[in-house]
Amino acid sequence: MKTKINIKTASIAIMILFASWAFTSYGQTPKKTEVKVMNKNMYIKEVYDYEKNPDEYIFKSKRPAVIDFYADWCGPCRRIAPIMDELSIKYKGKVDFYKVNVDFEKELASVHGVQSIPVVGFFPVNEGPQMVLGALPKDQYIKYIEEILIPKK
């Protein structure tokens, strides 16, 4: 008798867990983004090899880039993440978007003097990067992209 109750209770618990999982994932669409998570090796390969050229900034990519220096625990960082996702779609093919978790990539943060977050770096093709501290409204990021990375001629 006791075994039947335990099996029945376990079966009900499994059904409840499955139902709750099904309802929480129902209707959720995958997040659309072109933002790539960047580590040191990727940065050296695609942006700037500061180990090979420590005294001369040489941008390696063919397209300008936006790099969001963030941490998972940072509230303002979480607020700008959807903005970066949206802008990565808007400027797809014109500007590359990356994010660097400063908790895991301390050296990359140090290379750019990042001591507070969020910091968003704008990396034009033919000039040094410009870093902006703090969470800004979307229109301000658009202004920086349009003026620094893809200016009208």
- This prediction has a pTM of 0.78
The verdict on residue 26 lying in a domain is no
Q: What is the CATH number of the domain that holds 143?
A: 3.40.30.10
Decide if pLDDT at 15 tops 60: no
One of 77, 81, 108, 149 is an active-site residue; which one? 77
Q: Is 123 a catalytic residue?
A: no
Q: Is residue 31 part of a domain?
A: no
Whether 75 is in a domain gets the answer yes
Q: Give me the domain span that covers residue 71.
A: 36-149
Mean pLDDT of the chain: 87
Q: Are 145 and 68 in contact (CB under 8 A)?
A: no
Q: Is there a catalytic annotation at residue 62?
A: no
pLDDT band of 34, cuts 50, 70, 90: confident
The total domain count for the chain is 1
Place of tokens 């580590």: 39
At residue 13, the pLDDT reads: 55
Q: Which of 35, 38, 65, 74 is catalytic?
A: 74
147 phi and psi angles, rounded to 5 deg: -85, -40
Q: Which pLDDT score is estimated for 32?
A: 82
**Per-residue buried b or exposed e for 67-94, using 16+ beta carbons within 10 Å of the residue's own CB:** bbbbbeebeebeebbebbbbbbeebeee
Pairing of strands 119-123, 65-70: antiparallel
